[in-house]
Amino acid sequence: MAETTKLVIVITRGLDDERSSVAWSVANGGIRSGLEVTVFLTSSGVDWARIGAADGAHLNPLDPPMLEMITSFREGGGTILVCPPCAGVRGYGQEDLLDGVTLVGSPAIHELIKQGAATLSF
C-alpha cells in the first residue's frame, strides 16, 4: 500500500472555539512532517479566511496566536479552500478573503480523497 502524502483537514469551527486552534496546529504539524496539507473551511470555519478576522485571536494560550498559525501554514505551502455557500451566507466574496484562498466546492476535496488523502475534521 502506498504511503499517504496528502492530508485534508476540514475546519467547521470559528473564532470562538478552541478546536480551531487544534486544527491549525495539526495542519502545521502535517506541513512540517512533509505532507501536502489542504484545509477546507466550512460553516463558521470560513471566518478564518476573512481578511483581518484572525488578527487578535488567541484561543489557546499554549498555542501561538491564530494569525501566526495561519500565516505559518500558508508560508509552509498549505492550501486553504473555502466552501462557497458557507462564505456566501456570511456575505463574504473572494475580495473578503486572504490572498491565495480559493472559494471552491466539496468536489475539490473529494478529488484529493480519491488520490489517497487522509482526512481529519474539527
Distance, CA of 89 to CA of 92 (rounded, Å): 8
Domain topology for 6-121: Hypothetical Protein Ychn; Chain: A, (3.40.1260)
Q: What whole-number distance in Å separates Cα of residue 11 and Cα of residue 86?
A: 12
pLDDT tens per residue, range 8-23: 999 999 999 999 999 9
pTM reported for the whole predicted model: 0.93
Angstrom distance (rounded) from CA 101 to CA 106: 15
Q: What sign results for the dihedral spanned by CA atoms 90, 91, 93, 97?
A: negative
**pLDDT tens digits, residue range 54-99?**
999 999 999 999 999 999 999 999 999 999 999 999 999 999 999 9
Domain parsing of the chain, residue ranges = 6-121
CA dihedral (15, 18, 19, 22) positive or negative: positive
